[in-house]
A and B are shown apart, each in its own frame.
Chain A
Amino acid sequence: MELKMSNLTKKFRDMTAVRNVSYTMTAGVYGLLGINGAGKTTLMRMLCTLLKPTGGSITWDGEDIFEMDGEYRKILGYLPQDFGYYPDFTVYDYLMYIASIKGVRPAAARQQIKLLLDQVGMKKAAKRKMKKLSGGMKRRVGIAQAMLGDPKILILDEPTAGLDPNERIRFRNLISELAGERLVLFSTHIVSDIEYIANEILLMQGGEIKASGTAEELLSAMPEEVWSLEVEKKEIERYMRNYKVSNVKTIPGGAVLRLISSEKPSSRAVREEATLEDLFLDYFGERAGENDDEI
């Protein structure tokens, strides 16, 4: 079970969305972390054969996935970021239809749907029309459809986007539960999502994978260090201007800043243990996420 990207590139006219990405994935949960516009969706759409690469290749156990055609898609489950559905279908009909285009036989589909609806907590809503579901419920149906056919590869594009904190936690747990022996790749720009469930994290920026590894590996390889420093109110702006500030906690007369710097910013600064949020800030900067044009 090996999904391998070699020098994978995707250009849209004069813009390169994915640049020379080479990476190999086997069974496990992979978190693709990057700001909006980093190229996560383009990369995932190529992995789902929805976009053809401009250069490079993607192979599954050594075979080009575009040449494998239906054989590759047979082992694939995909939940797109902008999950679309048939508004007038009931949840059950929707899943039955998806099962049919995934080549699952009706009898097997009925059994799988029953189990999946139970797993995603949608059993009682099976007869409800898709258009009547809340955002969280639609996402749950989305993951159920991705799981139909028991795919070996599960690709989830921003599965927690737009969900409230409770739904997000529930969804994270669901992904962990469903992962099993599969290869799960999910993208997010929310650090806490990755922190809890990903075995391996891929940091994507400007169409490239800048770093990858387990959370511990990435944090230990972080080029800068994390400091906490209590400052007066008038000093806050100066520190904000000169350092990457991952957190500002206001206290009477000033604030406690969490700074990322390779040098000790002040003799009063105390070294802290880095978190994934610090890492995210270190890689993507404070303005991360401001550009919402998804690529």
Chain B
Amino acid sequence: MMRYEVKKVFSRTSSKIAVLVLFLVMGVTCFFALDISYVDEEGNTQKGLDAVSKLKAAQKEWAGELDEEKISQVIAENRRIRTSPEALAQDITQNEIAYSRGQGIKEIRELLNCAYAKGFREYDYYRADSLTEEMAADFYKNRTALLKEWLEGEAKDQFSDKEKQYLIERYESLKTPFYYDYMAGWVQLFEFAPTIVMISMLILCYLVSGVFSNEFAWKSDAVFFSSEYGRNRAVLAKIKAGLCIVTAVYFAIFFVYTGIMLLYLGADGWNLQVQSSMAGWKYFYHITNLKKYLVIGAGGYIGCLFLSFLSMFVSARTKSTVMAMIAPVMVLFLPSFVGNIKSPVVNKILGLLPDQLLQAGNALNFFNLYSIGGKIVGEIPVIIVLYAVLTAALLPALYRTYQKAV
């Protein structure tokens, strides 16, 4: 039964085109995500696999613990490069030659910009250039100091004392020094993952939106409901087919995307703390790149599953495929309507919307905290559990709605 339900979906030409579009978008995304360049000693920009291996080699020269000594070396090296005649020249090629020498420490330099910023939410690309080796000792201390300063100043009304304490404890308990290594594969994978998850969600909702309503559109409902299993097992088969389609298509696209990215750029750095890259510097979650990848994958899956089942629920309830397609998009656009309201309560509510799951990598950066049973918890575990429960709760509702359809 379930096999035929899946076949109903994929026998439509529009469904085949939708899946093709999904893979095409993924291909285009990969094309941009893999656009890594390396500047050689003569200032020429290189692209492709050769550029990736050269960049990897340059960054691996600096691999190791980011302790005070290493930070001090990076500060010195950066100053040497930035004050070299090539860097100060008016000629772009000369500047490129100078840039080529700093590619190995490029990511650490970004961490310096974050650690020594004037404020928690400030960023100055040239901040690293004004540092001295003596300042290296403050590298990790500054991370927590900037947070404290922000919590006591700009964000003082955004958090309760307990929440502030929680964030500070998270920052202070992070194991340092970080280990640094080449990890462009993960950085690029994370950056473009929301595009993949979002487009997957839209295509998946399109695919499953007609699972229930098409019986009415095709006028096959009378035969369906008058059959022995029309009000029980056949309904269950539809739900299973929806689950099967969402799971298979989502993981197919996600794993193909992961495979392309990591095969091309390398999986080095899978076990590094996310805080050892600029994107994860402010995270209060103590996770590695691999764990972040799993959070993005699981979050995206639960988000796609929830919105697809919401679409199927609307499909069963309204008997309209169009309504079923619109409903998840409306839910996704909801934050755009209320996004301008700046309020801690609104932020907490927005943090619980399913769009956060589709961009779980970005959501890790948000300081949305919730108090559950007197314990402070970050947004990510809350929404993953919440939507897993809501999706599970949708299943019997969906079953009952269609079972009783007339």
| A contact set with B: CB distance below 8 Å | 45, 48-52, 69-70, 73-74, 76, 78-80, 82-89, 93, 96-98, 100-103, 145-146, 149
Is B406 part of the contact surface with A, judged by Cβ < 8 Å? Answer: yes
Are the CB atoms of A74 and B228 closer together than 8 Å? yes
A198 to B220, CA, bound (A): 27
Known A-B contacts A80-B223, A86-B11; the reply to A103 vs B229 at CB < 8 A is: yes
Kindly report which residue of chain A lies nearest to residue B217, judged by CB atoms: A84
Q: Give the A-B pair count, Cβ closer than 8 A.
A: 85
A99 to chain B, nearest CB (A): 9
Min distance, Cβ A108 to any Cβ of chain B, angstroms: 14
- Say how far A10's CB is from chain B's closest CB, in angstroms: 12
Of A49, A83, A97, which one neighbours B226 at CB under 8 angstroms? Answer: A49
Minimum distance in angstroms from B208 CB to a CB of chain A: 16
Closest to A80 in B: B222
Cross-chain contact A73 with B230 (CB below 8 angstroms): yes
- Cβ of B47 within 8 Å of any chain A Cβ, yes or no, is no
Q: Give per-residue flags for B219-259: 1 if the beta carbon is below 8 A from chain A beta carbons, else 0.
A: 11111111111111110010000000000000000000000
Within 8 Å by CB of A70, from B12, B223, B231, lies B231
The complex places the Cα of A45 from the Cα of B215 at a distance, in Å, of 16
B11's closest neighbor in chain A, by CB? Answer: A88
Bound complex: CA of A103 vs CA of B1, how far in Å? 10
Separation of A39 and B67 alpha carbons in the complex (Å): 86
User: Bound complex: CA of A82 vs CA of B12, how far in Å?
Assistant: 22
Chain A residues whose C-beta falls within 8 Å of the C-beta of B220 in the assembled complex: 84-86
Q: List residues of chain B with CB within 8 A of the CB of A102.
A: 227-229
Smallest CB separation, A138 vs chain B (Å): 11
Minimal beta-carbon separation of A65 from chain B (angstroms) = 11
**Could you list 11 further interchain pairs (A-B, Cβ under 8 angstroms) beyond the known A70-B231, A78-B223, A80-B222?**
A48-B226, A50-B222, A73-B227, A78-B222, A80-B223, A82-B219, A84-B215, A84-B221, A93-B4, A100-B1, A103-B229
Contacts of A98 in B (CB 8 A): 223, 227
What is the number of residues of chain B that contact chain A, defined by CB distance less than 8 Å? 27
Contact of B11 with A73 in the complex, beta carbons under 8 Å = no
* Complex CA distance for A89 and B234, rounded to whole angstroms: 17
Tell me which residues from 1 to 37 in chain B have a Cβ below 8 Å from any Cβ of chain A: 1, 4, 7-8, 11-13
Given contacts A84-B219, A93-B7, contact A50 B228 (CB under 8 A): no
Residues of B within 8 A of A87 (CB): 218
Cβ–Cβ contact A103 & B218, under 8 A: no
Option from A69, A83, A100, A103 in Cβ contact (under 8 Å) with B231 = A69
| Of the residues A73, A84, A93, contact of B228 by C-beta under 8 Å | A73
In angstroms, how far is the closest chain A Cβ from the Cβ of B319? 13
Q: How far is B222's CA from A183's CA once the two chains are assembled, in angstroms?
A: 19
What's the least CB distance linking B48 to chain A, in Å? 43
| Bound-state Cα–Cα, A228 to B175, Å | 108
Q: Are B229 and A70 neighbours in the complex by a CB distance under 8 Å?
A: yes
How many Å lie between the Cα of A49 and that of B8 in the bound state?
A: 25
Chain A neighbourhood of B1, CB < 8 A: 97, 100-101
- Known A-B contacts A86-B8, A86-B11; the reply to A101 vs B219 at CB < 8 A is no
Is the beta-carbon distance between B229 and A89 smaller than 8 angstroms?
no
* Closest 3 A/B residue pairs (Cβ): A84-B219, A88-B11, A84-B220
Residue of A nearest to B221 (CB): A84
Q: Which of B220, B229, B233, B234 has the most CB of A within 10 A?
A: B220
Residues of B within 8 A of A100 (CB): 1, 4, 229
Can you list 17 A-B contacts (CB < 8 A)?
Answer: A48-B226, A69-B231, A76-B226, A78-B223, A78-B226, A80-B219, A84-B218, A84-B221, A88-B12, A96-B4, A97-B7, A100-B1, A101-B224, A101-B228, A101-B233, A103-B227, A146-B223
Contacts of B228 in A (CB 8 A): 70, 73-74, 101-103, 149
Cβ distance B300 to chain A, nearest Cβ, rounded Å: 30
Q: Which residue from chain B places its CB closest to the CB of A77 in the assembled complex?
A: B226
Contact B4 A97 (CB under 8 A): yes
Cβ of A78: which chain B residues have Cβ within 8 Å of it?
222-223, 226
Q: Which A residues are in CB contact (< 8 Å) with B231?
A: 69-70, 73
Q: Which residue of B lies closest to A86 (CB)?
A: B8
Nearest CB of chain A from residue B22's CB, rounded to whole Å:
20
Q: 0/1 per residue, B246-286, Cβ < 8 Å to A? A: 00000000000000000000000000000000000000000
Query: In whole angstroms, what is the CA distance A172 to B377 when docked?
Result: 71
Complex Cα distance A74/B223, Å? 12
**In the bound complex, how far is the Cα of B224 from the Cα of A86, in angstroms?**
11
Alpha-carbon distance A140/B63, docked complex (angstroms): 74
